Structure 1
Amino acid sequence: MAEPASRWADLRVRVISASVLGVVALAAIIAGDGWWRAFAAIAAGLMVWEVADMSAPNRRRPAMVLSVGAAAALTLPWPVFLIIGAGLGVTAARHRVAVGLYAAAILIGASSLVALRGEGMGWLLWVILVVIATDVLGYFAGRFFGGPKFWPKVSPSKTWSGTVAGWIGAAVVGGIFAVILEAGFGLVLVSVAASIAGQLGDIAESWLKRRFGLKDSSDLIPGHGGVLDRFDALTFAALLIALVTLAGWMPGPL
């Protein structure tokens, strides 16, 4: 069993990195649609590059081309994301279908985040806070309570206590924003669903990293690994929201 001090050894670096990212993201959100689109495009491009580099580290030129294309693609319709995902799958050395689908999911999620900002700052802050609540409560509950692992073969650090705590946090955030956005109780249910989607996105990334024998997607962010390690949950939560909106099940004005 890990000593109490070792459980929190990475907390300081994680907090500093998360704070810097949070300030930059918040500044982009406040600055307006164009700045947020640029932020999302850069993040999406870096995430696609990380997936490409993980799957085929000896083919970095195609990875760079695809990452630039991914960033530019946020201005284009969804089918283009599938084409880029397919291209990434082709360049992958292994697990081509999984890599291609994961990259396409990243781009659809990033596009959804851009669309949410277009609907108003409140909607974007809602999904971001849902993911933050899921991550923070899951982190602390998992380390404080411990207990059975959620899926030890794929993500050995995740516990059921942390997973459920994340759902509760998401529900609380959903309840608060249901009042602020006048969206009704349905937003609580969508918040929990988005929390689960974010957790599944994190698990999917863990599965990919294990298949390629990696701990982190890159070392770009101290304490968090890569951009994908930090934003995988947010993009998959946004992907779920895009699908719910497309199906006409989104509460409120969306």
Structure 2
Amino acid sequence: MSGANWDDLKARLASGVAMVVVGLLAVWLGGLWFHLLIALATGLMVWELVRMLNPAQANVAMGLGLFSGLASLVAPHLAPAIALPLLFLPAMLGLGRMGRGGVVYAVYAALIMLAGYGMMGLRDDFGLLWMLWLVVVVIVTDVAGYFAGRMIGGPKFWPKVSPKKTWSGTAAGWIAAAIVGLIFAKWTLAGAGLAGVSIAVSMASQLGDIAESAIKRRCGVKDSSNLIPGHGGLLDRFDGMLGASVFLVIAGQIVGFPPGSQ
């Protein structure tokens, strides 16, 4: 291995460990610390989104990113009737400022804001255990899909957008998520139905990953940014979590959450 490759590996490992430590600490502490982390991540992801779609609009990207982060930080402390329009405001403000990709920006920015709000609500309302469940489901979906896709191979899921993803890896993610759901069901009163919810969360996570891949392919970029050495940007690392969190915001209103609680 060349010195340059080794330096890149060291940077990737160091930044990866730092992300895990900071993320786990914020999840453990909850409250304001978790809100601050999510608000920062939300603002940076909106900034990345604008920069991908319109690289020349640096000032617009900075302004929308800052406003999105502040809106995410304030929204959990407001009544839902006020918080919801505030969360959609960054999408509306940016729609007319984008030189291209305005609709893509508006839809994805709204999803980013809802995802952040959903994660804060999950940690605040249901505690550490359920936040860890969400994180573990998203992680095992990604890890199981990665290894199964390379060991088993087979037909591609959507080669035009994500040429490395296979149906075998996709299905392996669902199976791994179901196993996590059954394990957490034994620790809670959720019951075996949590396995089905976990599979749906896994699917939403995969859709979030594919959606971000489609945007990058449309913009002709490999990574959403270079914020994280060796890893690209926040959207590259947390696209699956966005999809999973938005799903919980919507599905929680339909079936009740956690399963078995109603």
- Aligned twin of 1:6: none
> Is contact 1:86-1:101 (8 Å) kept?
no
- Partner secondary structure for residue 164 of structure 2: strand
Q: Distance in 2 between matches of 1:150 and 1:12?
A: 32
How far apart, in 1, do the equivalents of 2:114 and 2:48 lie?
17
Q: Which moved more, 1:124-133 or 1:137-146?
A: 137-146
Q: Are the structure 2 counterparts of residues 19 and 139 from structure 1 closer, same or farther at C-alpha, using a change threshold of 3 Å?
A: farther
Report the alpha carbon displacement of residue 252 of structure 1 after superposing the two structures with TM: 3.8
C-alpha distance in 1 between matches for 2:201 and 2:16: 20
Which of the numbers 34, 44, 47 marks the counterpart of 2:45? Answer: 47
Match runs of 1:103-182 below 5 Å: 103-118=109-124, 119-182=126-189
Identity score, percent: 48
Deviation at 1:151, TM superposition (A): 0.2
1:190 maps to 2:211: no
SS in structure 2 opposite 1:217?
coil
- The residue number in structure 2 matching 1:66 is 64
The 2-side partners of 1:182 and 1:11 are apart by: 43
| Structure 2 letter corresponding to 1:162 | G
CA distance in 2, matches of 1:239, 1:215: 25
1:135-165 deviations in Å (ceiling 9; x for gaps): 1111111122222111000111111111111
* 1:212-223 correspondence runs (5 A): 212-223=219-230
Distance 1:17 1:171 in 2: 30
Assess, with a 3 A threshold, how the Cα gap between structure 1 residues 136 and 14 changes in structure 2: closer, same or farther.
farther
Point out where structure 2 has 5 or more consecutive residues left out of the alignment.
1-7, 76-82
Distance 1:12 1:202, change over 3 A: farther
Q: Which amino acid aligns with 1:113?
A: M
Aligned with 1:97 (options 103, 112, 137): 103
Using the size of structure 2 for normalisation, the TM-score is 0.88
- Larger CA deviation: 27-36 vs 91-100: 91-100
- Give the 3-state SS of the residue equivalent to 2:157 in structure 1: strand
Unaligned runs of 5+ in 1: 1-9
Superposed CA deviations along residues 90-131 of structure 1, whole A, max 9, x for unmatched, are: 222322112211111011011111111112000100000000
- 1:18 lines up with 2:16 in the alignment: yes
Shift of 1:181: 2.5
Higher mean C-alpha displacement, 70-79 vs 161-170: 70-79
- Comparing 124-133 with 14-23, which one deviates more in the overlay? 14-23
Q: Deviation at 1:11?
A: 8.3
Q: Look at both structures and tell me which one has the larger radius of gyration over its CA atoms.
A: 2
- Backbone CA RMSD of aligned residues: 1.8
Partner of 2:251: 244
Check the 8 A contact 1:122/1:181 in 2, yes or no. Answer: no
Checking the alignment, whether the CA contact within 8 Å between 1:117 and 1:123 is kept in structure 2 is yes
Once the two structures are overlaid, the 10-residue window that deviates more, 81-90 or 126-135, is 81-90
* Amino acid paired to 1:22: V
